[in-house]
Amino acid sequence: MREACVTPNSSRGTCIEVRDCTPLLNLLQAKPLSQANLEYLRKSQCGFHDRQPLVCCPRQNPAPKPPNVEVVEDVSRHRNLPLLRNDLCGPLSDDRIIGGNITKINELPWMALIAYSGSKGNASPFRCGGTVINDFYILTAGHCVKFLKSGIRPQLTSVPLFTSIYVRLGEHDLDSRIDCEEDQIYGTKTCAPEPQDIPIAQAVAHPQYTGKSDLRNDIALIRLTRQINFTPDSVRPVCLPIGLSVQEQNLVGKKLTVAGWGVTENRTSSRVLLKVDVPVKSHAECAQVYKNQVQISKTSQLCAGGVRNGGDSCNGDSGGPLTYYGPVEGSVRAIQHGVVSFGPRACGTTGLPGVYTRVGYYMKWILDNIRP
């Protein structure tokens, strides 16, 4: 076992053989060996091992990380984990429409719509989507909150200058105050509670999202003015990826679900909540597609879609979720792996996938920035 020691310069060191200590070995091999270096080597001796002299080798500072290296940090022991509602999150609907794009009432109870001031006439106030992640917070895209007040318009997006004012939860059909549907077989009618509209208390975009040189870090949190009223069916949080195995899960080739009303910065394309399954593309394929526009990160972004007639995130909302199913506390739940960030304006364009902010990479930032 290597023992700790103190060098002649009063710094911390480790008592090892001189051949294993590069700094002192370099002094020993220097020609000519100066009296000062010889005296330093003599004072560095700290013992013997099998008659071999040991020296107090100064501890080397770890090599600095190369710039811009992205590392996923395990959050399985984060102090704020109890603020997430793993007891309620990501419920599966028993009558989920497999392969369809029209959702049933209450199928995706974590969906949120962000309303903005500045809409004229009969224009919809909803211009971004998001997801419920706990009692007070909505997860969305950075461009949905950061540039709406500042007047700065990021590249590759066309963000109008509005101010976010409230979030709507428990919505299904934008044209109906109370959403109902009938079972064609049994003749029964199911109705959801009236949607919840809750004012926004604070919106925080990731501090490193600029939207200028690239569109990385396109993620934000919205805190509401009051606690969300969770219901058995219509309003529940989505699960988030916790633990490195889920945060870094290889999703290439898998079909993940993106959902929304088609709300983008420019228009609303559907009055009813839609969903579509999109295949995740490899980083190499996505980077090649966008090489002349922006650099795509292998760690902090996901690419999915780009299949003609196979659906695309244009059917979802800016800031909306990309989800996949996995185990959470012993049961299979919906886990959000992506946030809709940017992509081609022509939906379903072959070979042009949409780009999503990877939630697993940002879990530490999310947990660091939520509070009770």
Q: Of 173, 218, 277, 317, which residue is the catalytic one? A: 218
Cα–Cα distance measured from residue 196 to residue 193, given in angstroms and rounded to the nearest whole number? 9
**Annotation says 318 is catalytic:** yes
> How distant, in Å, are the alpha carbons of 110, 123, 141, 295, 319 from that of 230?
10, 29, 23, 39, 21
Could you write out the DSSP letters of every residue in 36-88?
Answer: HHHHHHHHHEEEEETTEEEEEEEPPPPPPPPTT---PPP-TT-TTGGGS-TTT
As a residue count, the chain comes to 372
- Residue 178, token pair as written in the block: 């109370």
The C-alpha atoms of residue 11 and residue 25 are separated, in whole angstroms, by 18
Tens place of pLDDT for every residue, the chain, 372 residues? 568 888 888 888 888 888 888 888 887 777 777 787 888 888 999 888 877 888 898 876 655 545 567 899 999 999 999 999 999 999 986 544 334 477 888 899 999 999 888 666 566 788 889 999 999 999 999 988 875 543 333 333 444 455 668 999 999 888 888 888 887 666 788 888 999 999 999 999 999 987 766 689 999 999 999 999 999 889 999 999 999 999 999 999 999 999 988 755 445 567 889 888 899 999 999 999 988 888 899 999 999 987 755 555 455 578 999 999 999 998 999 999 999 998 764 455 567 889 999 999 999 999 999 999
CATH number of 3-58: 3.30.1640.30
Tokens 């999503």 locate to 356
Q: Does the active-site annotation cover 179?
A: no
Nearest 5°: the CA angle 274, 277, 278 is: 125
CATH number listed for the domain at residues 81-368: 2.40.10.10
- Of 151, 212, 211, 194, which Cα lies nearest the Cα of 357? 211
Q: Could you give the angle at the alpha carbon of 154 between the alpha carbons of 149 and 158, nearest 5°?
A: 85
How big is the chain by its Cα radius of gyration, in Å? 27
Identify whether 218 is a catalytic site residue.
Answer: yes
Domain boundaries in the chain?
3-58, 81-368
Catalytic-labelled residue, pool 135, 318, 337, 341: 318
pTM above 0.85, yes or no: no
**Positive or negative: CA dihedral 100, 101, 104, 108:** positive
Backbone angles phi, psi at 304, to 5 degrees: -150, 155
Q: Out of 143, 172, 206, 337, which one is annotated catalytic?
A: 143
CA torsion through residues 254, 260, 264, 268, sign = positive
What pLDDT was estimated at residue 303?
A: 95
| Distance set, CA 292 to CA 119, 214, 255 (Å) | 34, 12, 27
